[in-house]
Structure 1
């Protein structure tokens, strides 16, 4: 009789895989882009923060929020400063591309590993809904500010 086989105090043997995997569903990079397009960089940051926390990279969440707030502020300032003849589409595209590049930089390898491990993804419809909620919230906030300051 082998003592090692029947030892109840022996640590279990497990194959350890490098990297952090999660069984929770994550948002795809396309979902981050969709939420950003519909609901400003803040919506994209919300999805990125969700993924980062589930992947054990919560230390990068503050950076993501900081970048998205700066992107939003720069766009809002330019919207008030530039003449009305300047089209808004290039600014929306710039925000979208910045958030997609940030998502790829932070998550692409982890999402690939998540896919290979059979991990699930949350619906892009859900990402669009989150983007819409951020748009409604931001519009309500801007309306309230404009009404208070009577601009």
Structure 2
């Protein structure tokens, strides 16, 4: 990977704040021409620094009022257990984030549901009966203080 200069880092920080910001608007902030901004952005995409441009949605407006983190401990640590669990993660829309972990939990899931009843149904009907899962521990988000999607560039 090529080294990022200060302007590249500032451009990436701006794009994480608003990926739809025009090159003209960014050029005023970064003191570069709009064409220079466009070329830099294209290079950052080509070099793999920018992997996607997405829209961030408001969960509450979509009727998803409950966010939870669920720690999952598997029954066994085999390749089959992992692949079976990975299929579950990829097919359930409620799971919006998933990580393998060190410590007591093997996985950490971020879940969005309409309400507590839906979260309970997901836990009882999907997670607990799954053959790979031995134990789950849920934590419901009371208030999100900071969105951790932007990287510290």
TM over 0.5: no
- Superposition TM-score, scaled by structure 2 size: 0.25
**Larger helix proportion of the pair:** 1
Question: TM-score normalized by structure 1?
Answer: 0.25
Highest RCO, 1 vs 2 (Cα 8 Å, sep ≥ 6): 1
